[in-house]
Amino acid sequence: MFRSIKRIIAWTGMRKKRLYIGFVYSFIHTMFTAMPIMATAYGLNLILEDISGKKPLASKEIILLTIYMIFAVLGRFLFSYLRAKTQESVGYEVSAEERTKIGNRLKRVSLGFFSNNNTGELTSAVTTDLSFIEMHGMKMIDTVVNGYISAFTMVLCMGFYNIWIAITAVIGIVLSAVFLKLLGNKSNQNAPIHQKAQDTMINATIEYIRGMPVVKAFKQEGVSIDGIRNAYKSSKDINLKIEKNYVPYNTMHHFVLKTASVCIIAISSIFAIKETMDIPTMLMMIIFSFVIFGNVETINNAAHVLKIIDATFNKLEPIENAEFIDYDGKDISLNNYNIEFQNVTFAYNNKNVLSNVSFQIPQNTTTAIVGPSGSGKTTICNLISRFYDVNEGSIKIGNVDIREMTCDSLLKNISMVFQNVYLFHDTILNNIKFGKPEANFDEIVETAKKACCHEFIMNLPQGYNTIIGDGGSTLSGGEKQRISIARAMLKDAPIVILDEATASIDPENEHFIQQAISALVHGKTIITIAHRLATIQNADQIIVVDNGQIVQRGTHMDLIEEAGIYKRFIEIREKAEGWIIA
């Protein structure tokens, strides 16, 4: 348990000083809590002396005692407030920084990281898991550390009057800690299971929402509804099982503390009967026995929460320590944009996808990559953008190995238009601006006009300030494409990577998209995963990929003369597009 507390304290980094100051406030707060109890005993003594006729009660003493009590209550509230103010906001501040840190780190890791760590796990780590630490971390510090500080401060006060009673209280606290330790061990086993169930539940929910069109189409009887039902049921079952596991330890923890309270009452009474303790002190000890364990009693709730926090830290560790793909990269400005693949071999995990691929792309030319599905076309583009690093060989742009560059300095030279457009749940303006955050409104409108977006944007209720649904869900496929082209155009990078849409788009949209692309690629170095005959035929160079290798390379006129994949591919495309080449 204290290991987890140490971890939370370490997590707060520079802010840990505030936690320590909070511990001091907590100590003072408890002293102020003990003061009225001692004052009560003192007052009782005065009353008893007055009743027995030993010493009459003076009004000055009553006034002083009242002032002392008011002072103690005020002090108690003041230090409780100061402790909360100093400690409680730390969790929220650290979590906010942590999220930004993780966001920045994820930007610089290889895309392979996202395949290995599924989206549900990453999402829950940054949202629910971090929120858990944010909400409970500081409360746990308060419950455990301040709880023990409070108990031991009261033991000190009791020890001041009677050492045996203080020892009894310490034995109670130590024995209850043994049961807490056993509870902690159980939680250690359960916390990862609890989190796994939570991740599965989040994954299943994301899947379900993403696959809603399919769910609806299949009348909600498909596999995904079973998946989500099972995930929720298993989460409920696991939580119930965990709760049952904790019952014996929780009960013993409370039992020991209650027994210690009873022992304190019994011992004080015995001392009083034997006249080695006066009645007011005995009463004070009895009052202490009721309050001393109050804070320790709630620590059992902390044991389980702390283990979940521990498991969350374990889960965050690989994300926080994920290696930057451009760890050694430098900010390099390129002199030219010739692209060169030299004997590139690449595998996703253990699956070999490209073998010994070499080719050059001179700057300001258009290269079309064609080949069967799964042959490695997208992978080639992903490697140019350094979403992954090659396993063997090298990729150079402007004669610089891209592994020598930071991702930022490389990617500022590249604009990408993907087939599956992703737009952020934000305004149209901000989605276009993503390509150049410093762009002003006029520049954005100018670009949107060139990308054939302006007209449909102006027909939307809030124009450029219209919020786009998640992933662009409120726009048509063609409209999304054009916005993504505007985004790339605004960036105005010298290299453009284009993945031509294969999905059928209506002729009007197709016309607008082609017009937008022509404006985008003007005067640039273009690599396009091409499907349209017009794009392929007009390219300066065509690279034909098959099964991870370059099997043909040349212009359309060269390749159409050769028997091979290209000729067959063109014939199929001609049929599909209804073309006849004379």
Ligand X SMILES: Nc1ncnc2c1ncn2[C@@H]1O[C@H](COP(=O)(O)OP(=O)(O)OP(=O)(O)O)[C@@H](O)[C@H]1O
Report the interface residues with ligand X, using CB under 6 A.
115, 348, 351, 353, 371, 373-379
Cβ-Cβ contacts under 8 Å for 158 (sequence gap 6 or more)? 165, 166, 169, 285, 288, 292
User: Nearest to residue 432, comparing CAs of 312, 423, 494?
Assistant: 423
3-class secondary-structure state, position 264: helix
Smallest distance, Å, CB 372 to ligand X? 7
β-pair type (525-529, 339-348): unpaired
Smallest distance, Å, CB 122 to ligand X? 15
3-class secondary-structure state, position 374: coil
Give dist(CA 210, CA 58) in Å, integer: 79
Cβ-Cβ contacts under 8 Å for 117 (sequence gap 6 or more)? 318, 319
Give dist(CA 211, CA 301) in Å, integer: 39
486 and 430 Cβ atoms separated by less than 8 Å: no
Of 219 and 351, nearer to ligand X (C-beta) is 351
User: Nearest to residue 297, comparing CAs of 186, 167, 143?
Assistant: 143
How far, in whole angstroms, is CA 90 from its chain's centroid? 18
Which strand ranges, in their side-by-side order, compose the sheet holding 541-546? 414-417, 495-499, 525-529, 366-370, 541-546, 549-554
H/E stretch holding 137 reads: helix 130-140
Give the pair of three-digit tokens for residue 253: 């923890």
Smallest distance, Å, CB 369 to ligand X? 8
Query: In Å, how far are 281, 347, 526 from 377, measured between CA atoms?
Result: 86, 14, 14
Query: For the chain, how long is the longest CA-to-CA vector?
Result: 129
Give dist(CA 144, CA 180) in Å, integer: 11
Helix ranges restricted to H, 274-373: 279-291, 294-297, 299-320
Give the pair of three-digit tokens for residue 414: 């590249």
User: Nearest to residue 517, comparing CAs of 543, 541, 481, 491?
Assistant: 481
Exposure class string for 109-121: b at 16+ Cβ within 10 A, else e: bbeebeeebeebb
Smallest distance, Å, CB 533 to ligand X? 16
Of 45 and 378, nearer to ligand X (C-beta) is 378
Of 22 and 548, nearer to ligand X (C-beta) is 548
Give dist(CA 480, CA 189) in Å, integer: 48
Give dist(CA 419, CA 369) in Å, integer: 14
